[in-house]
Structure 1
């Protein structure tokens, strides 16, 4: 890709700001397409539609600007959690976690999760995409087709791998620059245990049983490159793309069975904006099903319980909630080692059982201690690191419910983590492997010793699992793609039973991908945009 000179880039940004000020000062009564949510999928959809100059696109974001040092500085990502850039969801107390109620952060602002996450680019395993193709009955979702999309959208800056990586796309991807010695130690520890290591976690590694690698990241010249910045920012000077912030979508407007616009709360006032062709919901696995339900699309009994007239009975709306759950194991440094990049530079995927053919465990090394609110009481070293050891393919399923017919009311989130006994079995295997890695010879020059969990057994270790469990913030799957009675969208991401409405975000995944969900959400956006352009001959 041709890179703009810094002076030219400044001029582009100035023109973009002036253009958006004009466009948002007087919104049109209707646009061809309305994309709700400027996150990892919505940014992709809006950009691809706006590439056709004859198409008027409105991109609606509930949060604010991404112009903040806490967003752009990779090391500061934790400081966004619990702020105005975080939806701040909290799950219900969970008996399977000793009654704990987990915070479930999701990005709120331009870029969505890609503006507050750890910047990891993880494509998902081959088996994920083959599963999605089978569930949807649509070959466009199979691994080879998705690999072609990844190669097309990436601007890969690591070791050449033309069979897996592309170099001319909008998404700047690079291996973590100058990784910490503790990151290299993880790869060496994996080798000690017979786990293969790879140049990247996004090539052959995710076509195999798993392995370890230095993390691929969306960081360029030391600054975060969110998917909003990759896709939308270069188009902000276009007259056919309008981006509004601080606008909450409350309901979808219908005429008969067709979506014709959205009802917004914007600037303290409620307004309706029309969509001449389609509405796309890209608000994430919490807000998308919430808006569907408030629009009368969901489980009939649940809607009637809160007094919402039923437009379309789809019992899968809000069901099937999935997330990667993690159990932190922590070591103390022998001498302080400052975190580098985002503080998470090495990753490992492996199996809880020998007979598996794909990884079901996910390990992200974090170069500072990350206890839960419960395990913090066990004592946290001033200088240390944590292995975020988690379940890549959890079997437990949660559910979202409305508390009332008021769109401002908070969701009831029954995350239900560890409710399936298979997840506890996998968690115990996960912690066992985590401790083997952290106590391997490769780490001995760098650590003083293990802090937690230590040599726990039986019920004591299970209690540690329940007390240490935290979310990876990969909430997905609440409006799944498929062909059964619990499916909400088809392979083209059209909502069943209505017209002019699609979903493009992580809620459409039939199961959570093996790894961080940012990259798969970009694929969802690309697939949605391709389907829209084909349907409307754009």
Structure 2
């Protein structure tokens, strides 16, 4: 960065900070649009709506600033887990995980998950988007439309590929820089097993049976470039965009069946702010259904049990919970190799059965040990790496339930992971493939020994899977888009039965996408903004 560029950036930052201080010190009683949540989808929605200077947008975030080193330094992402930038949710004990209760981290900071994740950019498979379109009854969610959106939003820094990549959008995407030799060993191991390798995981690789590639990441000049930083930070000097941090949205205010605003807690005080246009809920797959239920929108029996007056019976709210689940397999290095970038530079998607037409297994190589709290007892090497691999298309479904009528009470999260026997069978094949990869010739120059799981079968394999299972933190599906009885939003992301209320985040996914979820959440934000602008002639 040149000194002139640095000076321009400093001047902009000072101007933007002064603008936001003025705007938040004099909050308006009414805005045109209120976006709840400044995460991977909400940041996109707010920035796109604010492109119209005649539209007043309020973006509300429960967390605080992202201008901290643990967020901006790609190598420090694990330091965010369990910090004040993490909601710190915990699931209920799960009998299918041998009674274990998993932590459910979620970003609570400007940028949401895109500020605390591993920065991977994974678009999802062609079949995912075509399935979305089928469920919604709208070709606008199909792969061809979504591919065009990806080309428009990406500022791709790799080899030019105009068929699949764009180079002038807001989202800076680059291949992992100077990837570790063990990342390249992952690709060589895949090739040994007959799995094709690609220059990028985004493009042809996700139109067929899968493959392996060096990861694409949201890192710019060695720093995390979250979706908040890509979309919102460059426009914080606009007078029509107010970003309100450290503010909890307690409920959506409803007048009959119309959303008219939100109740918030800001500075410890409750306050109601009105919206003349719409309220857009982008709080993620745990907080979004929670907000809907506390607003009286949800399953009648569930709301009545918690003592919440029913405004609209919508039984799918909080149901259809999904998450990618991983079963870490670990190897010890012959000689220490320090992690590079965010420590995850190679990815692989493949099939648990040859008859499948798309990958159902997801492999993210992690360049340090990642055991579960239970498999850690097997012994973790000081220097090692993990095949962080699991189910890309789990069949199991969980549910979120209220504890009581208090909006500050956490939800009861029943993930129900591995409840479907088909998931256990796929998990066993996943672990077997991990071992084939990690024990291949390609890794022999780097690996001293396999630490876990070793050669297991039958009940021993099942126990390992249930003890090793951890989450990818890809919670999705709890306010799903569709046309059946459990659908919460329609193809336009409007909440069924309520006017002026949309959901735009990972909760609307009918099923979790194949891969990391921040890129699909950006698409959900783009689609939402497009649909809102069309509806309001903006």
2:284 equivalent to 1:259: no
Q: Deviations over 1:465-519 (max 9, x none)?
A: 0000000000000000000010000111000001000000000000000000000
Q: Deviations over 1:90-146 (max 9, x none)?
A: 000000000000001000010000000000000000000000000000110000000
What is the rounded CA distance, in whole Å, between the counterparts of 2:254 and 2:451 in structure 1? 57
Map 1:41-80 to 2 at 5 A: 41-80=41-80
Q: Is the 8 A contact 2:256 2:311 kept in 1?
A: no
SS in 2 for 1:270: strand
What is the rounded CA distance, in whole Å, between the counterparts of 2:227 and 2:141 in structure 1? 21
**Paired position in structure 2 for 1:444:** 444
What is the rounded CA distance, in whole Å, between the counterparts of 2:163 and 2:9 in structure 1? 32
**Paired position in structure 2 for 1:142:** 142
**Paired position in structure 2 for 1:513:** 513
Q: Deviations over 1:309-364 (max 9, x none)?
A: 11111100000000000000000000000000000000000000001110000000
Map 1:75-114 to 2 at 5 A: 75-114=75-114
2:257 equivalent to 1:237: no
Map 1:106-505 to 2 at 5 A: 106-505=106-505
What is the rounded CA distance, in whole Å, between the counterparts of 2:140 and 2:527 in structure 1? 8
- 1:272 deviates by 0.2
Number of equivalent positions? 536
What is the rounded CA distance, in whole Å, between the counterparts of 1:242 and 1:82 in structure 2? 28
**Paired position in structure 1 for 2:16:** 16
What is the rounded CA distance, in whole Å, between the counterparts of 2:100 and 2:464 in structure 1? 13
- 1:4 deviates by 8.6
What is the rounded CA distance, in whole Å, between the counterparts of 2:4 and 2:195 in structure 1? 42
SS in 2 for 1:370: coil
| TM-score, scaled relative to structure 1 | 0.99
Q: Deviations over 1:4-36 (max 9, x none)?
A: 922111111110000000000010000000000
What is the rounded CA distance, in whole Å, between the counterparts of 2:266 and 2:101 in structure 1? 31
Q: Deviations over 1:510-532 (max 9, x none)?
A: 00000000000000000000000
What is the rounded CA distance, in whole Å, between the counterparts of 1:165 and 1:503 in structure 2? 28
RMSD of the alignment, in Å? 0.8
What is the rounded CA distance, in whole Å, between the counterparts of 2:169 and 2:447 in structure 1? 41
What is the rounded CA distance, in whole Å, between the counterparts of 2:304 and 2:318 in structure 1? 15
**Paired position in structure 2 for 1:525:** 525
What is the rounded CA distance, in whole Å, between the counterparts of 1:348 and 1:158 in structure 2? 19
- 1:457 deviates by 1.6
- 1:421 deviates by 0.4
- 1:461 deviates by 1.0
Q: Is the 8 A contact 2:352 2:360 kept in 1?
A: yes
SS in 2 for 1:113: helix
SS in 1 for 2:231: helix
SS in 2 for 1:5: helix
- 1:256 deviates by 1.8
| TM-score, scaled relative to structure 2 | 0.99
What is the rounded CA distance, in whole Å, between the counterparts of 1:498 and 1:67 in structure 2? 37
Structure 1: segments with no counterpart, 5+ residues: none
SS in 2 for 1:251: strand
What is the rounded CA distance, in whole Å, between the counterparts of 1:325 and 1:73 in structure 2? 26
What is the rounded CA distance, in whole Å, between the counterparts of 2:519 and 2:444 in structure 1? 34
SS in 1 for 2:232: helix
